């Protein structure tokens, strides 16, 4: 599908293209995709570069089949949010929205249709109140009411990690991170028990949380510093 010298390349990525893109992203970060596309000399669109990075090259991506636990989470969150794949993906570190979308279409949509016809496919009350299913990254320590919001922030910054893998305090080591941390702690402490400050927040099993990630993203905070 290549034409003249000025035409953009399409189709599968070559190994050399992947390497070149990864180099550029490591230098410039996950932003300015059009610029990265031009500088790289890959003759790919910025969108194509972004897609390739997010869905394939990004570190910490999980490979391999979706586990039954992940499937359960997908089903549950889809039941709650519908086709909000990127939002669902935020709850599954290492999985991409594209991957989840594909998995849903190929594995779960039929199941859902069948079960709905049988009247038993729905987020049942047991599942919807199961903290582990709702919030898979909750740690063993319930005294830390920040886990959920913290996890969401990490994912919004493209760091696909859970609290058990990530050093919470490393967030406060640079100026912008300090602002993020201050903002985050403020939002957390502003939420009242059982009364979420943001739409996605709430109180589960005595835990208080708010989905700070939706209103406080690192990208915008960078610009504040």
Binding residues among 53-72 for DNA as defined by CB under 7 A: 55-56, 65
Residue 96 to residue 114: CA distance in whole angstroms: 26
Looking at the Cβ atoms of 72 and 99, the one nearer to DNA is: 99
Looking at the Cβ atoms of 102 and 124, the one nearer to DNA is: 102
- Evaluate whether 32 touches 41 at the Cβ level (below 8 Å): no
Residue 124 to residue 101: CA distance in whole angstroms: 22
209: tokens are: 């949380």
Element (H, E) at 149: helix 147-156
Quote the least distance from Cβ 181 to DNA, whole Å: 19
User: Is residue 111 within the footprint of DNA (CB under 7 A)?
Assistant: no
Rg (CA), the chain: 20
Quote the least distance from Cβ 175 to DNA, whole Å: 17
3: tokens are: 């034409």
Quote the least distance from Cβ 205 to DNA, whole Å: 28
Q: Which of 23, 26, 47, 192 binds DNA (CB under 7 A)?
A: 47
Quote the least distance from Cβ 2 to DNA, whole Å: 11
Quote the least distance from Cβ 123 to DNA, whole Å: 18
Distances (CA, A) of 44 to 8, 51, 55: 5, 11, 16
Quote the least distance from Cβ 144 to DNA, whole Å: 26
Using CB under 7 A, count the residues that bind DNA: 39
Binding residues among 8-27 for DNA as defined by CB under 7 A: 9-13
Give the DSSP letter of residue 53: I
Binding residues among 86-105 for DNA as defined by CB under 7 A: 86-87, 97-99, 101-103, 105
Residue 165 to residue 21: CA distance in whole angstroms: 27
Residue 65 to residue 179: CA distance in whole angstroms: 38
> Contact residues for DNA (CB under 7 A)?
9-13, 30-35, 44-48, 50-52, 55-56, 65, 83-87, 97-99, 101-103, 105-107, 219-220, 223
């Amino acid at each position: 599908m290549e034409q003249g010298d000025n035409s953009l390349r399409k189709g599968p990525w070559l190994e050399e293209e992947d390497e070149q893109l990864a180099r550029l992203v490591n230098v410039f970060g996950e932003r300015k995709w059009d610029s990265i596309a031009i500088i790289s000399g890959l003759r790919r669109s910025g969108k194509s570069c972004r897609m390739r990075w997010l869905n394939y090259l990004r570190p910490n991506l999980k490979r391999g089949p979706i586990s039954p636990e992940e499937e359960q989470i997908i089903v549950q969150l889809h039941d709650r949010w519908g086709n909000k794949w990127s939002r669902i993906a935020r709850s599954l570190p290492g999985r991409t929205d594209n991957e989840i979308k594909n998995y849903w279409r190929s594995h779960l949509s039929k199941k859902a249709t069948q079960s709905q016809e049988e009247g038993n496919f729905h987020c049942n009350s047991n599942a919807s109140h199961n903290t582990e299913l709702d919030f898979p990254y909750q740690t063993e320590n319930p005294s830390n009411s920040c886990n959920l919001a913290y996890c969401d922030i990490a994912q919004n910054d493209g760091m696909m990690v859970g609290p058990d893998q990530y050093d919470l305090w490393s967030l406060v080591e640079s100026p912008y991170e300090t602002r993020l941390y201050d903002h985050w702690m403020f939002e957390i402490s502003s939420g009242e028990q059982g009364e979420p400050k943001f739409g996605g927040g709430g109180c589960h099993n005595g835990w208080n949380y708010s989905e700070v990630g939706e209103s406080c993203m690192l990208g915008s905070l960078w610009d504040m510093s």
